[in-house]
Structure 1
């Protein structure tokens, strides 16, 4: 933390993975004691903190690569560098909003990168390595959850899945898995699919190839150490990509799994809205994207029974993601 003159306002404090709530509580404590405006800054290679911060009422900004020096192979720019970027010119940073998430202000860039990637994806689609949904003639759907493990929400989602005896896939963030080994082991023991969702949920176009490789490899390692059985399934954060990123992923032994049903539960629209959106969008072969991590996921937990019961009432079978991908379709 720095003050308006660039001096360190407090001694540096370090937090381990899994201490998101402690980080948020500390920031509120500092703000209350100082009585001054507190601005919190993240950057685009770290998409795991801003959600909880914003829900708690903190003012959060994002510093983009062009405002920062080159980052390390794994991780973000140093905290003091981020603080100085805000002090130097706060107007150059993007103020984040809950309904825009970490990519507030860069959604057009995200969409443009996805559109430009269509041709690069085609060869991978033909080889079954770039998938949005299964065969439309099969009354099967797969439930997937991103950004965990995140207590208590991951455990609560696992409880619901166990109660209904339905499978799911969890695309885990490596940083969260280091502190959530019990949840990862429980996923594996219950027979759920475990996929790779990078180490810190970065916006992939901001990474070099080496940085992307490190994000994937470190996450695979920690999932295995946590007691899970990681698959070769990968999901890019935000679905972000460019033709170059698609090429890098295609060079690895991965199957990239996207989705065709997204209720935007991360924006916290309400449990009823989440369930309604899933049921309105789902069709045979659908891959449903929801979230067990990255913020307050109590609405997702609340919506899940209605999602499961509604899908079953409509004649869909909820199957493991791997079964659905055996018959992937266009």
Structure 2
């Protein structure tokens, strides 16, 4: 989990800003949709973006800005590799109330889950993985940064990036997630060309966002609600968190934002639908 900050850099964005594009697509047909490290093969392959120049991992930020008002809620289930003792002492890195709210409101969502989180909460990971309303994607195993200077997160060496992603998929399989999606979210949202190159060949699409909820460490649910409502456009990807201890207002925000966006004519979709509607382009 990282603090609520708003900034954009050329190569890295965190939970306070939408990313600039470090990897562009080249207009080719979409790459094979199932990642070599996905939990298990599925009869229906989820859509992915075509690789960028030189086979770089493609980056997706939002769907088409069409008159069809769609929006994707995404939730990062963060747990850093070294946070085990905090969980053992009673800190909650999960948020069952938020998941219950999404189910009650009938909101589909994409959960970007760290392998460490799945190791800590296997029953919850399995439940999400078997619920057709949700799709589970990869948020690394360690939640260590894939670039330097990513808001104090420890870093993964370039040689270890691919292994960290593969280890996360292994944790999702072990927890009982049957079809982890070929989507990856960089910890902290931080990436650069080296990171995109390190993950080339895995078959994953890196998924960022264009709306920062600001729920990380927030205590003012109304402020977070306003930020989401002010930022959403057709095709938006909203980043939020599924971590009680570090995002305590998220459930309340969801319960307020969902009916208002529906009143405005928005339809909630998973990231996979937005990517599919993009036709293989960023």
SS state at 1:244 partner = helix
SS state at 2:206 partner = strand
| 2:106 match | 165
| 1:247 match | 197
Match of 1:232 among 141, 165, 182: 182
Per-residue deviation, 1:249? 2.4
SS state at 1:250 partner = coil
| 2:139 match | 197
Whether the aligned pair in 1 keeps the contact of 2:92 and 2:244 (CA below 8 Å) is: no
| 1:111 match | 9
Per-residue deviation, 1:125? 7.6
Whether the aligned pair in 1 keeps the contact of 2:93 and 2:244 (CA below 8 Å) is: no
Query: How far apart in 1 are the matches of 2:10 and 2:206?
Result: 19
Aligned length, in residue pairs: 227
Match of 1:278 among 225, 228, 231: 228
C-alpha distance 309-281 of structure 1, shift in aligned 2 (>3 A): same
| 2:119 match | 178
Per-residue deviation, 1:293? 2.2
Whether the aligned pair in 1 keeps the contact of 2:11 and 2:22 (CA below 8 Å) is: no
Query: How far apart in 2 are the matches of 1:211 and 1:122?
Result: 24
C-alpha distance 278-144 of structure 1, shift in aligned 2 (>3 A): same
| 1:287 match | 237
1:302 aligns with 2:252: yes
SS state at 1:171 partner = strand
CA RMSD of aligned residues (A): 2.6
Query: How far apart in 1 are the matches of 2:217 and 2:135?
Result: 25
Structure (1/2) with the larger helix percentage: 1
| 2:59 match | 130
| 1:141 match | 71
Q: Greater relative contact order: 1 or 2 (C-alpha under 8 angstroms, separation 6 or more)?
A: 2
Per-residue deviation, 1:300? 0.7
SS state at 1:251 partner = coil
Whether the aligned pair in 2 keeps the contact of 1:151 and 1:180 (CA below 8 Å) is: no
C-alpha distance 308-125 of structure 1, shift in aligned 2 (>3 A): farther
Larger deviation, residues 138-147 vs 245-254: 245-254
Larger deviation, residues 308-317 vs 199-208: 199-208
Per-residue deviation, 1:274? 1.1
The within-5 A match list for 1:68-79 is none
SS state at 1:145 partner = strand
TM-score by length of 2: 0.73
Query: How far apart in 2 are the matches of 1:300 and 1:280?
Result: 16
1:312 aligns with 2:262: yes
SS state at 2:24 partner = helix
Whether the aligned pair in 1 keeps the contact of 2:217 and 2:247 (CA below 8 Å) is: no
